[in-house]
Amino acid sequence: MKEYYPADLRIAIVGGGSAGWMCAAYMAKYLKDVRISVIESPSVGTIDVGESTGTHFATFINKLGIDVEDMMRETGATYKLGTNYAGWTGKDSEDYFHFKFNQSNANFSKKIDKARKYKAKSIFDRLQLKHNHNIRDYITVNKEDRLTDTFLSAYNSGQLKGFDDWHGWESFSKLNKFPAELFTQRSLQYAYHVNSEQLGKYLRDKVAMPAGVRHIQSHITDIEYKKGSNAINYLLLEHGGFEVADLYIDCTGFKRLLTSDRHTVQYDTPANTAYVRQRDYNDPAQEMLNCTRAQAMNRGWTFEISLFHRQGTGYVTNSDRYPEQELIDEFVNHFKHTEEPRKLKWVPERLENQAKHNVVAIGISNGFIEPMDANMFGIIANGITNTVDTVRAQRSLLKTRSVDWTEQNKNMASIYDDVKDFILAHYTLSNRPGDFWEDMRAIGRSQNHADMVRDKYMNPANEFRHGDKQSFFPDILWLQLAINWGLDVSDWVKDKDSTDYVQYQLDTIGAIKRHSSKFPNNYIYLQNIYGMKSEDFKKKILGDVD
């Protein structure tokens, strides 16, 4: 344990869910001379759902510098290669993949370098070397690091049927294989399935507290404001003490303990309820999936998320609009659950301003739309990094209460609004039959969502670049949405394309398809990381619950 030291900046994080501990871990690493406290109520639990993540979260975890496989072993996490959307288009073939993880030229050139280093041992390495010259040319010409035009040209000319032909992960997902060799070279983008509660505890015990973060287990009973101001002066604790800080972070989830008086922006997304239930594996080699599964249903959609010791399932729908028992029956029958599910209900919204005076909201307290596209852990990561940037830039002002949060508030509002647009278009552009989907399509037509998706793709601010500072949903994700949902993209090419690059990609995908059956089963691969079977890990993790 680090010694506490007199710090010139005091930060009080209220809430010990995953948002609170992600925040504490990151701030302890990236802010110097701070005293960070996490205050967690012993009587109010964490939300204990939320298991699918995206690449923003994976980047965040890497920035914490933790041993990822250790984190996985302690939390039951698995690797996630993408999301399998099933039944959304209404076509005959209901299944397809919507792999959202980007791959930039920078990644490809890294792969080429790695291939050299490993002396071109594998079929993939040999392909990379074979095409090296042409791809290098392509990268040199396309300094902007964009691949979408190349994809679009090949797609529009009929060389590719969709993104499955481009990424090739379909083969791994269909066979539930893990692309170990490609993966261990770390040239792929990936994320995790992770239990939010266990993640919070891991970051608490292995990152935040060893770095000197104080953990106060007490319920906050009152908030004292500074005289003549809306800034917080101190927090009153149930056991009689108080906590005073320069900056307060509200991570109290739906309670919004420090921010309940703030204006909100409400969203017109259709879901406001989820019925959730965990289930055990019968045959982990078959059932432990390397992607999140999102299945369209009569009145919403279900998620299926594979941790190492169990699956999380849920039905995301609207319990104000439809009879509750019908929704529960649909969910229970779909997954063959034998027990009643747990119900979670929310208002889809965000705070108008994430930060005001000396209080910032991070996590569900800042807003929650719905679980689609595993957006929240990414939003949380962005909320934290934005806050750290503002604090670093204006640290001295925190003592005088005149921090300018305008830029940060704008960033976070635009992330939420983008997420809302992205989610809504999944519903409104779907051709799935049924009353619910008909209503969604009517909204899509009246709000012209096909054009909205095109505008997002064309927006230069969304051009995908390798590195940190990219928009939450870069252009390639809007393009995947457009292609998978069947929009006409024949005039979407913005820039140059590269025939050489397409050939390289087609050769690689061909090789993947031919060789994918030789890769290890997803569960077997994970079993090696865990050093034990799923059922033994389940006993261990249940024994560890504190």
Ligand X SMILES: Cc1cc2nc3c(=O)[nH]c(=O)nc-3n(C[C@H](O)[C@H](O)[C@H](O)COP(=O)(O)OP(=O)(O)OC[C@H]3O[C@@H](n4cnc5c(N)ncnc54)[C@H](O)[C@@H]3O)c2cc1C
What minimum distance in Å lies between the beta carbon of 48 and ligand X?
7
What minimum distance in Å lies between the beta carbon of 534 and ligand X?
20
Please report how the helices 376-394 and 18-30 are oriented relative to each other, as an axis angle in degrees rounded to 10: 40
Q: How far apart are CA 263 and CA 448, in angstroms?
A: 28
Choosing from 110, 114, 219, 279, the residue that interacts with ligand X (CB under 6 A) is 219
Which of 317, 420, 426 has the alpha carbon at shortest distance from 368? 420
Which of 80, 78, 83, 113 has the alpha carbon at shortest distance from 96? 83
**376 touches ligand X by CB under 6 A:** yes
**82 touches ligand X by CB under 6 A:** no
DSSP E strand stretches across 205-332: 214-217, 220-225, 232-237, 242-244, 247-250, 264-266, 273-279, 292-297, 300-306, 311-317
**208 touches ligand X by CB under 6 A:** no
State the binding string over 235-254 for ligand X (x if CB under 6 A, else -).
Answer: ----------------xxx-
Choosing from 9, 11, 12, 15, the residue that interacts with ligand X (CB under 6 A) is 15
Choice between 47 and 489, CB closer to ligand X = 47
**In the block, which residue shows the tokens 């490809």?**
108
What are the backbone angles phi and psi of residue 252, rounded to the nearest 5°?
-95, 20
Choosing from 96, 377, 523, 537, the residue that interacts with ligand X (CB under 6 A) is 377
Binding residue count for ligand X, defined by CB under 6 A: 37
**382 touches ligand X by CB under 6 A:** no
Q: How far apart are CA 536 and CA 541, in angstroms?
A: 9
**270 touches ligand X by CB under 6 A:** no
What minimum distance in Å lies between the beta carbon of 503 and ligand X?
37
Q: CA Rg, the chain, in Å? A: 24
Region 23-62 residues binding ligand X, contact defined as CB under 6 A? 39-41, 44, 46-47, 49-53
What minimum distance in Å lies between the beta carbon of 184 and ligand X?
26
Rounded to the nearest angstrom, the gap between the alpha carbon of residue 180 and the centroid of all alpha carbons in its chain is 22
**472 touches ligand X by CB under 6 A:** no
**348 touches ligand X by CB under 6 A:** no
Choice between 122 and 217, CB closer to ligand X = 217
Three-state secondary structure string covering 165-219: HHHCHHHHHHHCECCHHHHHCCCCCCEEECCHHHHHHHHHHHHHHHHCCEEEECC
**369 touches ligand X by CB under 6 A:** no
Residues at the contact surface with ligand X, assessed by CB under 6 A? 14-20, 39-41, 44, 46-47, 49-53, 196, 219-220, 251-253, 255, 257, 274, 276, 314, 344, 363-365, 371, 374, 376-377
